[in-house]
Amino acid sequence: MMINIPSVIEISGTVAFTISGAFSAMQKRLDVFGVLIMGFVTAIGGGTIRDVLIGDTPVNWMRNYETPLIILGTGIATIFFKKYIKTFKTTLFLFDALGLGLFTIIGTQKGISAGLNPGVCVALGTITGCFGGVLRDILLNNIPLIFQKEIYATACIVGGTLYILLLNDLDTDIVELLAVAVVCAIRIIAVKYKLSLPKFYA
């Protein structure tokens, strides 16, 4: 049976961001409901904003019951295995980087399918990858990473641009995996070596 790469990418991104959101909520000592809501917000926030912007409504997770079930199952599993997850901060960071890369490509593809110009497609990919985390951080009273010095949205822009540039020259599956890898690599390297964009002060 052939593996459906786009489906694998979407499920993997959903799981990765759900874990990231749920664990962030547990660090703030939210109750079970709060943890699950943060998992949902992080996983579907960017995609919801994207779908509303391009008029693709009802938004994807309202039409596809599998997505809420995956988020719910992942959120519950994160709660039950929190003691193990807590000891793997590097793993949690990698989940966040992976989700960033996966959702960036999903959003970019959605823009292409809607017949939008390349710049808007990259913007949609960036929104899909970043804004679930933005909503999560706002609700948890944190300054969103995208607005700090860390290289976050920039990784999405580079990955989305690379995807569009290579799409007509290489097999789609290869381009998808390559673009995801680039986003993840930029994010990981930036954090490891403390690379950042310049900060401005008033």
Residue 9 counted as domain residue:
yes
Number of structural domains (the chain) is: 1
Alpha-carbon distance 131 to 146, whole Å? 9
pLDDT in tens, 150-190: 688 899 999 999 999 999 888 888 898 899 999 999 999 98
- 201 domain residue, yes or no: no
Residue 199 lies in a domain: no
Query: Who's near 156: CB < 8 A, 6+ residues apart?
Result: 100, 104, 122, 125, 126, 129, 130, 183
Q: Is the pLDDT confidence value at 105 over 60?
A: yes
Confidence of residue 193 (pLDDT cuts 50, 70, 90): confident
Asked whether residue 115 carries a pLDDT value surpassing 60, the answer given is yes
76 versus 15: the higher-pLDDT residue is 76
Q: Answer whether residue 197 is part of any domain.
A: no
Structural domain including 158 reads: 5-192
Provide the whole-model pTM. 0.85
The string of pLDDT tens digits covering residues 90-99 is: 777 787 788 8
The whole-number pLDDT of residue 198 equals 73
What is the pLDDT averaged over residues 109-138?
A: 94
Which one, of 152, 137, 63, lies nearest residue 103 by Cα? 152
Tokens found for residue 110: 């959605």
What's the pLDDT score for residue 173? 84
In a domain, 102, yes or no: yes
Per-residue confidence band for 86, with pLDDT thresholds at 50, 70 and 90: low
Per-residue confidence band for 1, with pLDDT thresholds at 50, 70 and 90: very low
Q: Directed axis angle between helix 32-53 and helix 89-113, to 10°?
A: 30
Q: Is position 200 within any domain?
A: no
Task: Look at residue 177 and tell me if it is in a domain.
Answer: yes
- The reply to whether 198 falls in a domain is no
